[in-house]
């Protein structure tokens, strides 16, 4: 094998290694950036017309630009009356409202 062939093979080998590192790095980045972080804030809450204050322990941390608050209801069937209305099994319709404040008491929107 002459010198030119060795140089060409070395260049293509280096390019192959760089492409491989880029592809693996991209896969790892996509996996890490798309993970969901779940934290249960409260269980067994009673539904009422009064506000219920929930303190998150440990404190919630911002990990993404977009965050979601999900309400999980046991034995819930998708029977919605309108936007933001949930029909409970006893026939009551509730309109959950969530207000999040930071440690300084500022409301987040």
Q: For the chain, what is the mean pLDDT?
A: 79
12 and 31 together in one domain: yes
Q: What is the mean pLDDT of residues 101-108?
A: 78
66 and 106 together in one domain: yes
DSSP 89-103: TTS-EE-----EE-T
Closest to 47 (Cα-Cα) out of 104, 8, 92:
92
Q: Extract the tokens encoding 77.
A: 């069937």
pLDDT at residue 80, rounded to an integer? 56
Q: What is the mean pLDDT of residues 47-69?
A: 75
101 and 55 together in one domain: yes
85 and 109 together in one domain: yes
pLDDT at residue 94, rounded to an integer? 78
29 and 45 together in one domain: no
Q: What is the extent of the structural domain holding 109?
A: 41-109
pLDDT at residue 14, rounded to an integer? 95
């Amino acid at each position: 094998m002459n010198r030119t062939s060795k140089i060409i093979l070395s260049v293509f080998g280096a390019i192959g290694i760089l492409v491989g590192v880029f592809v693996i790095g991209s896969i790892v980045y996509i996996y890490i950036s798309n993970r969901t972080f779940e934290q249960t804030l409260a269980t067994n809450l009673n539904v009422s017309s009064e506000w219920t204050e929930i303190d998150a322990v440990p404190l919630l941390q911002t990990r993404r630009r977009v965050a979601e608050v999900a309400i999980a209801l046991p034995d819930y069937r998708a029977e919605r009356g309108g936007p933001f209305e949930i029909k409970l099994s006893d026939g009551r319709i509730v309109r959950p409202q969530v207000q999040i404040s930071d440690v300084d008491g500022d409301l987040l929107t």
